[in-house]
């Protein structure tokens, strides 16, 4: 059997973590089985449809770096891949069910249905939903009302008193009493548009979908879909309902937990390979003792039997750890190219939006080696190195003074350091460490005590990126200017 699966989003919002996880698992499964991964746009909800969300879909997966082999923008043998372009197919198949006596025309007005819902709520009725009022209409009665100009919906005739069974690839055997399924749901609306259920089943069959991997929130809809397959006389695909993605409070991941749209993660400075790596682990395992995987490694290792039934917990700290690992894998040049837009936006080179000049660009690239080990997202980078591009505010005098030292001693220490800046600029880190250690011994002080006033003078803070690299980027002249400014403040 040729494996064919799909990602079938409704373009009514931005792409989010849950949807991307579903798409990724479908992609990994298809790749692992040398099958086909399709994209289908389920755009029949025209009230919420927005072309901007379609573009966001394409942009998101272009950025993430994995894509479908068939879809609206790529074409394929079973198109069109947009549901609003397939209306005739849904109408044809809904009508076929009517002709077989497995669906029927319903002429109930909106007013009648509203009154029915109100009555059921008022009486706390055990059975809610549609009361199958039109289920007993004969074909001739339906035809007569159609001829009279009434516009019906088409409802599915759910077999009553039966139990629907299917096997889920993850959850095992599932049974559902038909009487617990939504009573005779609408398949085709009066405007000729299908409901989700009809379009989904017809498309999956006609597109040859062999496996449906989707979130467990769709599990209650699956008995209805299985019934529809049976009434059409088709074999249903293999269903696999993926574990939910939860926040750390145990509730379904949502905006209250922080960023969920991929655009938000992208703006914050997460890397696509880190996001893919982490999302691929939400509800799946691959290899004991290994955390970092390339997309190719994930494709080769993925299988349905490695999925977990338990909900996956989305941990932003863990995602940050993954992102930090991938940041550190970048060369300084590659990291600078990724981080530069954040520097421009943060006004690192002047006003926000100002691009760096040649000297600033060189300093920015050189600074990547200083902060690579200290950031988890790209957006953190500008503030980490802002002191290299603008004079940092002078902190309180107390910040300059090492523990168990006083102000006069601190002034002496900074004065010693002033004479060390020029030789330090020309030394490698290893050479600089040996040089500073030797100078501290000659002065009879600890290395940390000698370096602290210098660090605060140059960076404005006790904690900063590596000091020797800072001196090389600032250069002797700018470093001495900052030391002199600090000495003046300490001596005032």
For residues 466-492, one letter each, b for 16 or more C-beta atoms within 10 angstroms of the residue's C-beta and e for the rest, the string is bbbbbbbbbeeeebbebbeebbeebee
Dihedral (Cα; 271, 274, 275, 281), 10-degree rounding:
180
How far is it, in rounded angstroms, from Cα 154 to Cα 135? 10
* Tens digit of each residue's pLDDT (9 = 90 or more) over 465-487: 999 999 999 999 999 999 999 99
Which domains are delineated in the chain?
A: 86-242 (3.40.50.620), 330-382 (1.10.8), 397-491 (1.10.10.350)
Q: Is it the case that residue 255 has pLDDT exceeding 80?
A: no
Q: What angle do CA 421, 426, 430 make, to 5 degrees?
A: 95
Bridge partners, 39 (sequence order): 7
pLDDT digits 0-9 by tens, 290-312: 999 999 999 999 999 999 999 99
Task: Please give the Cα distance from 102 to 187 (Å, whole number).
Answer: 11
Residue appearing with tokens 């017809």: 202
Show Cβ contacts of residue 376 under 8 Å, excluding neighbours closer than 6 positions: 320, 321, 323, 324, 327
Provide the pLDDT for residue 271: 98
Q: What is the pLDDT of residues 28-48, one digit of tens each?
A: 999 999 999 999 999 988 888
The two tokens of residue 209 are: 């979908």
The b/e string for 216-230 (b: 16+ C-beta within 10 A; e otherwise) is: beeeebbbbbbbbbe
The dihedral region occupied by 283, where left means phi > 0, alpha psi between -120 and 50, and beta the remainder, is left
Range scoring the smallest mean pLDDT among 141-150, 366-375, 406-415:
141-150
Residue 256 scores a pLDDT above 80: no
Is 25 within 8 Å of 284 (Cβ atoms)? yes
Find tokens 């001596």 and name the residue.
491
H helix or E strand, kind and range, residue 437: helix 429-443
The reply to whether 177 belongs to the active site is: no
What Rg, from alpha-carbon coordinates, does the chain have?
32
Q: How far is CA 383 from the centre of its chain?
A: 25
Catalytic residue among 255, 309, 318, 437: 255
The CA-atom distances, in angstroms, between 455 and each of 437, 472, 489 are 16, 13, 15
Q: Which of 32-41, 53-62, 230-239, 258-267 has the lowest mean pLDDT?
A: 258-267
Q: What percent of the chain has pLDDT over 90?
A: 91
What pLDDT sits at residue 402?
95
């Amino acid at each position: 059997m040729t494996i064919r699966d799909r990602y079938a989003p409704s373009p009514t919002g931005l792409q989010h973590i849950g949807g991307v996880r579903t798409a990724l698992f479908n992609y990994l499964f298809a790749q692992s089985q040398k099958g086909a991964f399709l994209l289908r746009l389920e755009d029949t909800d025209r009230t919420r449809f927005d072309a901007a969300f379609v573009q966001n879909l394409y942009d998101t997966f272009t950025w993430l770096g994995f894509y479908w082999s068939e879809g609206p923008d790529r074409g394929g043998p079973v198109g069109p891949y947009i549901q609003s372009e397939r209306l005739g197919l849904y109408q044809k198949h809904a009508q076929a069910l009517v002709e077989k006596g497995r669906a029927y025309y319903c002429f109930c007005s909106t007013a009648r249905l509203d009154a029915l819902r109100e009555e059921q709520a008022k009486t706390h009725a055990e059975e809610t939903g549609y009361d199958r009022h039109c289920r007993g209409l004969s074909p001739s009665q339906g035809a007569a009302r159609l001829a009279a100009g009434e516009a019906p919906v088409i409802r599915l005739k759910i077999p009553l008193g039966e139990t629907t069974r299917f096997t889920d690839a993850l959850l095992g055997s599932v049974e559902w009493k038909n009487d617990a399924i939504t009573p005779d749901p609408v398949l085709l609306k009066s405007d000729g548009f299908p409901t989700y259920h009809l379009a989904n089943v017809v498309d999956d069959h006609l597109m040859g979908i062999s496996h449906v991997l989707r979130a467990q929130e769709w599990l209650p809809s699956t008995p209805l879909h299985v019934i529809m397959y049976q009434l059409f006389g088709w074999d249903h695909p293999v269903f696999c309902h993926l574990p939910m993605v939860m926040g750390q409070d145990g509730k379904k991941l949502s905006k209250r937990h922080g960023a969920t749209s991929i655009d938000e993660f992208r703006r914050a400075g997460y890397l696509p390979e880190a996001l893919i790596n982490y999302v691929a682990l939400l509800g799946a395992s691959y290899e004991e003792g290994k955390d970092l995987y390339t997309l190719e490694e994930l494709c080769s290792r993925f299988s349905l039997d490695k999925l977990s039934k338990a909900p996956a917990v989305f941990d932003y700290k863990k995602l940050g750890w993954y992102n930090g690992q991938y940041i550190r894998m970048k060369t300084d040049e590659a990291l600078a190219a990724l981080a530069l837009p954040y520097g421009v936006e943060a006004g690192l080179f002047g006003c926000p939006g100002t691009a760096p000049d040649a000297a600033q660009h060189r300093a920015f690239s050189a600074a990547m080696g200083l902060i690579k080990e200290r950031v988890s997202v790209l957006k953190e980078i500008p503030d980490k190195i802002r002191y290299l591009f603008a004079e940092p505010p002078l902190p309180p005098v107390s910040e300059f003074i090492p523990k168990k030292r006083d102000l006069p001693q601190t002034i002496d220490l900074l004065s010693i350091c002033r004479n060390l800046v020029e030789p330090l600029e020309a030394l490698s880190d290893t050479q600089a460490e040996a040089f500073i250690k030797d100078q501290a011994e000659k002065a009879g002080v600890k290395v940390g005590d000698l370096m602290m006033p210098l660090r605060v003078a140059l960076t404005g803070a006790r904690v900063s990126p590596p000091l020797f690299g800072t001196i090389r980027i600032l250069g002797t002249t700018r470093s001495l200017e900052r030391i002199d400014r600090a000495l003046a403040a300490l001596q005032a």
